[in-house]
C-alpha cells in the first residue's frame, strides 16, 4: 500500500484564515468501536490514518481519556447529558431506549449562546416518534440513523432526515450502491458550508468501524493482499454481512473514515474557518472482537486489557484528540484524566454557555488552553465511575487517582489495579491495600441511582429484517 508524505491534511488546501469569530465553531467526531491502539498516533502499525495522525500532531493527544461506558447507547447518553453511567437516563444497550424530555443535552446547552446545531451519523438515543429524537433534544438538523441496530448496516435502503425517511436509491433489495459513510460525510460538509457565517456545533458520530465489515472497492483495494486472512467471516444471523477478507475490510474502513476526516479539515481551510473551529476526535468505547473483527491481529486496544463490553481499560480507555490552531499548542500529549461526561461542561465553557442544572462532568477547557483553573474547572473530582449490564449482573468500575477497581458482578470482591505501574491490569492488589478497597467500596454505596424501567417499542425502521431488504 502506498504511503503519502504528510504535508497537511490529505485533500486539503492551504488557505490561511483572517476571520475572527467570537465563539468557536465546534466539531465533535465520535467513531464507533475504535480501540485505543487503532490509530497510527497511538501506535498502530498496520492501518493507515494520516489525517487523524496529522490532527494529533497539530493539536493535543490524550492518553487517559475514557468513554462513558463500554458499549454504545449508554456511552452516547453520558456524552449528551454530562452524567456518568450510574446517573444518565439511557443505561440499556438493547436499542431504542430514548432520552427523556427533561434531559438537557450538549445541543440544548450550546443553543443558549446562539449556536446552530447539527448531527450527522448514528444517534442511538431514541427511535422515531419518541422524545429522544435529535430534533427534540436541541439539534436543528439531523441526518443519519436513529435506532442503533439500523446503524449496523452500511447499505440500508433509507436513513432519517430529521423526522422523515430519506431513501437511498440503489440500496433496495440488498443492492450496494450508496455507502452511508460517504453519504453522511457529504451531508455534514453541506452543513458546514451552509452555516459558515454562523457559530455552529457539528456532532459527527460515524458508525465506522463497527461491523458489518463492508467498504467500497476503491478503499478495499488499497489493502488487498496486505494481510494474511486465516478464514472468511460467515455471519450466523441477519445483523451483519459475510466478509471473505475481514482484516482487509476492517483496515480499509478505518482508512476511508480517515480520508473523510481529511476532507472535512480541508473544507475548514477552504472556507477559512480553521482558525475559529475546535475539532475533537474520539470513540464511543474500546475495540471489539466480534463480527469478523480481529482485535489481536491489529493490536487494537494497544497495551490495555479487555475489549468492548468490559470495564477493564480496553473497554473504556479510548483515543481523544483536540485541535484548535492558535489556541491549542501543537504536538501536545496530555495524561489528564477526563471522560465523555466531561465534554458537556467543557464545550459549554469554550462556547461561553452557562450550565444551570446538575451534571457529573467537570470542564477540561483549562487543559486544552493551558490556563489556570477557573469557574467550572475549579472543582476536583476524586472518583470516576462506570457501570454496565442489568441489575442482576451489574458490572462496576471506579478510578481513584492511579487506582482502578473493577467489580464483575453484584456482591463480588473488588479487583484493584495500580494503573501507573500496571496499565494492563494484570496484578490484583486488593489483598495488599484493604484501605483503598474500603474507600472505593464506601463510594460505591452512593455512586449510582436505579435506572428507570423502560421497554422499547419495536423499531420503526422496518424490523424484522425480511421487511427491509437487509437480509444477507
35-49 tens-digit pLDDT = 999 999 999 999 999
**What is the Cα Rg of the chain in Å?**
21
Count the domains in the chain.
2
Query: Within this chain, do residues 348 and 426 fall inside the same structural domain, yes or no?
Result: no
User: What pLDDT, on a 0 to 100 scale, did the predictor assign at position 238?
Assistant: 64
Contacts of 455 (CB under 8 A, 6+ apart): none
Query: Within this chain, do residues 405 and 299 fall inside the same structural domain, yes or no?
Result: no
Query: Within this chain, do residues 230 and 126 fall inside the same structural domain, yes or no?
Result: yes
Contact 47, 254 (CB under 8 A): yes
How many CA atoms within 13 Å lie on the side-chain side of 118? Answer: 26
Which one-letter DSSP state was computed for residue 435? H
Query: Within this chain, do residues 249 and 324 fall inside the same structural domain, yes or no?
Result: yes
Residue pointed to by grid coordinates 467550572? 376
User: What pLDDT, on a 0 to 100 scale, did the predictor assign at position 5?
Assistant: 32
For residue 111, the domain's CATH number is: 3.40.720.10
User: What pLDDT, on a 0 to 100 scale, did the predictor assign at position 1?
Assistant: 40
Decide if 469 is inside a domain. Answer: no
Query: Within this chain, do residues 309 and 413 fall inside the same structural domain, yes or no?
Result: no
Q: Is 333 helix (H, G, I), strand (E, B) or coil?
A: strand
Give the predicted TM-score (pTM) of the model.
Answer: 0.93
User: What pLDDT, on a 0 to 100 scale, did the predictor assign at position 9?
Assistant: 55
Query: Within this chain, do residues 262 and 129 fall inside the same structural domain, yes or no?
Result: yes
Residues 34, 286: Cα–Cα separation, whole Å: 6
Decide if 466 is inside a domain. Answer: no
Please give the helix or strand (H or E) that residue 53 lies within, else none. Answer: helix 50-57
Decide if 401 is inside a domain. Answer: yes
Query: Within this chain, do residues 227 and 364 fall inside the same structural domain, yes or no?
Result: yes
Query: Within this chain, do residues 353 and 234 fall inside the same structural domain, yes or no?
Result: yes
For residue 415, the domain's CATH number is: 3.30.1120.10
Q: Is the dihedral of CA 266, 270, 276, 277 positive or negative?
A: negative
Query: Within this chain, do residues 352 and 434 fall inside the same structural domain, yes or no?
Result: no
Q: Which residues of the chain have pLDDT under 50?
A: 1-7, 10-21, 378, 463-472
User: What pLDDT, on a 0 to 100 scale, did the predictor assign at position 306?
Assistant: 98
Decide if 189 is inside a domain. Answer: yes
Contact 235, 182 (CB under 8 A): no
Domain containing 397 equals: 390-444
User: What pLDDT, on a 0 to 100 scale, did the predictor assign at position 468?
Assistant: 40
Decide if 5 is inside a domain. Answer: no
Which one-letter DSSP state was computed for residue 458? P
Decide if 471 is inside a domain. Answer: no
Domain boundary among 381, 408, 427: 381
Query: Within this chain, do residues 339 and 428 fall inside the same structural domain, yes or no?
Result: no
User: What pLDDT, on a 0 to 100 scale, did the predictor assign at position 380?
Assistant: 72
| Whether residue 221 has a cis bond before it, omega within 30° of 0 | no
Cell of 123: 444517534
Decide if 14 is inside a domain. Answer: no
Residues 253, 209: Cα–Cα separation, whole Å: 6
Residues 216, 1: Cα–Cα separation, whole Å: 16
Q: What is the pLDDT of residues 260-292, one digit of tens each?
A: 999 999 999 999 999 999 999 999 999 999 999
User: What pLDDT, on a 0 to 100 scale, did the predictor assign at position 250?
Assistant: 99
Query: Within this chain, do residues 395 and 268 fall inside the same structural domain, yes or no?
Result: no
Cell of 220: 478495499
| C-alpha separations of 279 from 148, 182, 202, 282, 446 in Å | 24, 20, 9, 10, 35
Decide if 365 is inside a domain. Answer: yes
Contact 303, 50 (CB under 8 A): no
**17-41 as b/e, with b when 16 or more CB fall inside 10 Å?**
beeeeebbbbbbbbbbbbbbbbbbb
User: What pLDDT, on a 0 to 100 scale, did the predictor assign at position 465?
Assistant: 43
Query: Within this chain, do residues 229 and 339 fall inside the same structural domain, yes or no?
Result: yes
Q: Is 404 helix (H, G, I), strand (E, B) or coil?
A: strand
Amino acid at each position: 500500500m502506498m504511503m503519502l508524505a504528510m504535508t497537511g491534511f490529505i485533500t486539503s488546501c492551504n488557505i490561511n484564515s483572517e476571520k475572527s469569530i467570537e465563539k468557536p465553531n465546534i466539531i465533535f467526531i465520535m467513531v464507533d468501536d475504535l480501540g485505543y491502539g487503532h490509530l497510527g498516533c497511538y501506535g498502530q502499525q498496520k492501518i493507515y490514518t494520516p489525517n487523524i495522525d496529522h490532527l494529533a500532531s497539530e493539536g493535543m493527544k490524550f492518553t487517559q481519556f475514557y468513554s462513558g461506558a463500554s458499549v454504545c447507547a449508554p456511552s452516547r447518553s453520558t456524552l449528551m447529558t454530562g452524567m456518568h453511567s450510574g446517573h444518565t437516563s439511557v443505561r440499556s444497550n438493547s436499542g431504542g431506549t430514548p432520552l427523556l424530555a427533561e434531559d438537557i443535552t450538549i445541543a440544548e446547552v450550546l443553543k443558549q449562546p446562539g449556536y446552530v446545531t447539527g448531527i450527522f451519523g448514528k444517534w442511538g438515543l431514541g427511535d422515531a416518534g419518541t422524545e429522544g429524537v435529535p430534533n427534540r433534544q436541541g439539534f436543528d438538523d439531523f441526518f443519519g440513523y436513529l435506532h442503533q441496530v439500523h446503524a449496523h448496516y452500511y447499505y440500508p435502503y433509507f436513513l432519517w432526515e430529521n423526522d422523515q425517511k430519506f431513501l437511498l436509491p440503489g440500496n433496495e433489495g440488498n443492492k450496494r450502491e450508496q455507502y452511508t459513510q460517504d453519504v453522511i460525510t457529504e451531508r455534514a460538509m453541506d452543513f458546514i458550508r451552509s452555516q459558515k457565517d454562523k457559530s455552529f456545533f457539528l456532532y459527527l458520530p460515524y458508525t465506522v468501524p463497527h461491523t458489518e465489515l463492508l467498504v467500497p472497492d476503491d478503499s478495499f483495494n488499497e489493502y488487498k493482499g496486505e494481510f494474511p486472512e486465516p478464514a472468511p467471516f460467515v455471519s450466523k444471523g441477519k445483523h451483519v454481512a459475510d466478509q471473505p477478507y475481514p482484516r482487509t475490510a476492517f483496515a480499509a474502513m478505518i482508512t476511508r473514515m480517515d480520508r473523510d476526516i481529511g476532507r472535512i479539515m480541508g473544507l475548514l481551510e477552504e472556507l477559512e474557518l480553521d482558525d475559529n473551529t475546535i475539532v475533537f476526535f474520539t470513540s464511543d468505547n474500546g475495540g471489539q472482537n466480534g463480527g469478523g473483527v480481529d482485535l489481536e491481529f491489529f493490536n487494537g486496544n494497544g497495551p490495555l486489557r479487555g475489549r468492548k463490553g468490559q470495564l477493564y481499560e480496553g473497554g473504556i480507555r479510548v483515543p481523544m484528540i483536540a485541535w484548535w490552531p492558535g489556541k491549542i499548542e501543537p504536538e501536545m500529549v496530555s495524561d489528564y484524566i477526563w471522560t465523555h461526561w466531561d465534554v458537556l461542561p467543557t464545550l459549554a465553557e469554550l462556547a461561553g454557555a452557562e450550565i444551570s442544572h446538575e451534571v457529573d462532568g467537570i470542564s477540561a477547557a483549562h487543559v486544552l488552553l493551558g490556563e489556570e483553573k477557573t469557574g467550572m474547572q475549579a472543582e476536583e473530582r476524586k472518583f470516576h465511575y462506570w457501570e454496565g449490564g442489568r441489575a442482576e449482573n451489574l458490572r462496576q468500575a471506579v478510578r481513584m487517582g492511579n487506582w482502578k477497581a473493577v467489580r464483575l458482578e453484584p456482591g463480588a470482591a473488588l479487583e484493584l489495579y495500580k494503573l501507573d505501574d500496571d496499565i494492563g491490569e494484570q496484578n490484583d492488589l486488593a489483598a495488599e491495600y484493604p484501605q483503598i478497597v474500603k474507600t472505593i467500596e464506601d463510594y460505591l454505596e452512593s455512586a449510582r441511582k436505579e435506572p428507570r424501567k423502560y421497554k422499547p417499542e419495536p423499531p420503526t425502521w422496518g424490523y424484522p429484517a425480511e421487511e427491509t431488504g437487509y437480509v444477507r
